[in-house]
Amino acid sequence: MLESSEKQEARGLKPLSSATDSGMAKAMPSHSDRAMSSEADRAMPSRAHAMDRGGEGEDEASLFSVRRWIAQITLWRVIVALIFVAGAYATYARFALGFAASTNLTDPQPWGLWVGLGTLCGVGLSAGGFAIAAAVYLLGFERYRPLLRTAVTVSFLGYLSVMVGMMYELGLPWRIWHPIVMWNRHSVLFEVSWCVMLYSTVLALEFSPALVEKIPWKRAREWYLKWHHEILIGLVLVGTVLSSLHQSFLGGLYLLTEGKLDPLWYSPYLPSLFYLSAIPAGLAATMIAIYLSVRSLDVKVDLGILSEVSQVIAPMLIIYALFRGVDLFTHGGSKYLLTWREETISFWVEIALFVFAPVILLSREKIRNNPLYLYWTCCLVVMGFMANRLNVSITGLQASSRIYYVPKWTEFALTLATITAAVLAFRYAVMYLEILPKSPQRPRWMVKSAAADA
């Protein structure tokens, strides 16, 4: 998956001067050096570039295409390419050299960044899909319908990334199918793996109409969509139950770490806490995706919907905070709240990012009604959520493991490459599929799609 995105990016599948590109890619002049172009060069409009072409003469077709190719190299594309190169090296290191060469994992810290950020956050931030689907289809909140496809796409890509991550994370990835035939129903991880497998299937089915719509054969298309419509409610129902189970069981994984995990995070109610925190975080991730689509892609959404969702996020965060507070005071974590330890500092950073800052910000009408402010508030929620999962999986276990784990650069590189691939995939999905309503004026290459015919 990584490789193909990289190739697409390098070839510049995206047309050069499409309106959709305004936010992300500023056309660079062809005569400047790729990486070292000055600010002034970058600001030069593409019209100047076109004039440049005219001056060179039309018959130099090959030179012209090279120049066009170079012109597509922008700062962001260079960064993306570098991330993928680093990710490719990390892949090589992981599979050709092993864990010891690609990670800083050790026996006392057997789960690191790939589990903490990749799996725990990847699944958690994908909770928006089931939450919005349940809200629209089961609870009848029709006003959230415009968010539905975005939420499902974000979740689907999230789960795909988690599965790609799994292949790196498992010591013997070619045995990833083992849980299908080898059962241990006493294992929380067994439940998680089954729920994730089943829910990914559900998500794929929920996402599928966006792809099927593009099938040029009308009858096949309609047959599938009709069939899909009939099972949709069932899918949403099953998806909601499966999600609720494994979102909480990811927390349940750490029930066994009693005595190892710091009391600020260990609780018999870890499953509930994971569930309660995943929903607002998943919604925040969906909002970020929508805001960025509107800002940088040719998408038209009434951003008022974001304000409505934010009014749901705030009470969810408060409920989570109350639950967490009561839990800390009833299970003995409270005496560590004000001690000068690294764990306590991490705890307060997490709470400040995930609860205090967003709740205070969202209580202000000025913030709620401004998409940009909302976007940044959602970023805080997501960061706070990631802090929580990393605290549970890394910080909270550090003292008992008696080692100080800092991920190796290849661990960061791979995580970053996976996230980048997911973001790129989302970008292309929004551009080529009907995920979000597009502005009426469509770029040339879109017109021939099946949906446009239909």
Partner 1 sequence: MERSKAMLVDITKCIGCRACEQACKEIHGFPKESETHLSTTAYTVVEDHGDRYVRRLCMNCQDPACASACLVGALKKTSLGPVTYDKSKCMGCRYCLVACPFNVPRYQWSKLAPYVTKCDMCYERQAKGQPPACVEACPAEASIIGWRDEILEEAQRRVLNDNKYVKQIYGSHEAGGTSVFFISDVAFEKLGFIAAPKHALPTLTANALGDVPTVVMVGGAMLSGLYWITQRRALVAMADAQKKKERS
Instruction: Determine if 233 is a binding residue for partner 1 (CB under 8 A).
Output: yes
Q: Pinpoint the alpha helices (H) of 331-354.
A: 342-351
Instruction: Determine if 401 is a binding residue for partner 1 (CB under 8 A).
Output: yes
Which amino acid is it at 79?
I
Report how far residue 201's alpha carbon sits from residue 188's, in angstroms, rounded to the nearest whole number: 20
Which amino acid is it at 367?
I
Nearer to partner 1, 4 or 187 (CB): 187
First and final C-alpha spacing in the chain: 30
Nearer to partner 1, 340 or 404 (CB): 404
Report how far residue 242's alpha carbon sits from residue 193's, in angstroms, rounded to the nearest whole number: 11
Instruction: Determine if 183 is a binding residue for partner 1 (CB under 8 A).
Output: yes
Which residue of 10, 16, 212, 237 would you call a contact of partner 1, by CB under 8 A?
237
Report how far residue 67's alpha carbon sits from residue 33's, in angstroms, rounded to the nearest whole number: 12
For residue 355, give the H/E element and its range: none
Instruction: Determine if 230 is a binding residue for partner 1 (CB under 8 A).
Output: no
Q: How far is the CB of 28 from partner 1 (least distance, A)?
A: 42
Nearer to partner 1, 287 or 390 (CB): 390
- What is the number of other CB atoms lying within 10 angstroms of the CB of residue 186? 7
Contact 37, 27 (CB under 8 A): no
Q: How far is the CB of 285 from partner 1 (least distance, A)?
A: 23
Instruction: Determine if 377 is a binding residue for partner 1 (CB under 8 A).
Output: no
Instruction: Determine if 145 is a binding residue for partner 1 (CB under 8 A).
Output: no
Q: How far is the CB of 271 from partner 1 (least distance, A)?
A: 6
Nearer to partner 1, 261 or 433 (CB): 261
# of chain residues touching partner 1 (CB under 8 A)? 56
Report how far residue 156's alpha carbon sits from residue 129's, in angstroms, rounded to the nearest whole number: 8
Nearer to partner 1, 57 or 171 (CB): 171
Which residue of 120, 188, 378, 392 would you call a contact of partner 1, by CB under 8 A?
188
Instruction: Determine if 411 is a binding residue for partner 1 (CB under 8 A).
Output: no
Instruction: Determine if 191 is a binding residue for partner 1 (CB under 8 A).
Output: yes
Report how far residue 171's alpha carbon sits from residue 263's, in angstroms, rounded to the nearest whole number: 30
**Two tokens at 269?**
């109610």
Q: How far is the CB of 194 from partner 1 (least distance, A)?
A: 9
Contact 248, 271 (CB under 8 A): yes
Residue 151: exposed, middle, or buried by beta-carbon count in 10 A (0-12, 13-18, 19+)? Answer: buried
Instruction: Determine if 232 is a binding residue for partner 1 (CB under 8 A).
Output: no
Which residue of 64, 69, 89, 111 would you call a contact of partner 1, by CB under 8 A?
111
Q: Which of 27, 10, 9 is nearest to 18 (CA)?
A: 27
Q: How far is the CB of 269 from partner 1 (least distance, A)?
A: 10
Interaction residues for partner 1, span 240-259 (CB under 8 A): 240-241, 244-245, 249, 252-253, 255-259
Report how far residue 388's alpha carbon sits from residue 351's, in angstroms, rounded to the nearest whole number: 8
Instruction: Determine if 189 is a binding residue for partner 1 (CB under 8 A).
Output: yes
**Two tokens at 117?**
């950020």
Phi, psi of 438 (to 5 degrees): -95, 160
Instruction: Determine if 186 is a binding residue for partner 1 (CB under 8 A).
Output: yes
Q: How far is the CB of 148 from partner 1 (least distance, A)?
A: 15
Quote the longest CA-to-CA distance of the chain: 80
Residues within the interface to partner 1 (CB under 8 A): 95-96, 98-101, 105-108, 110-111, 134, 137-140, 169-173, 175-176, 178-179, 182-193, 233, 237, 240-241, 244-245, 249, 252-253, 255-260, 268, 271, 401
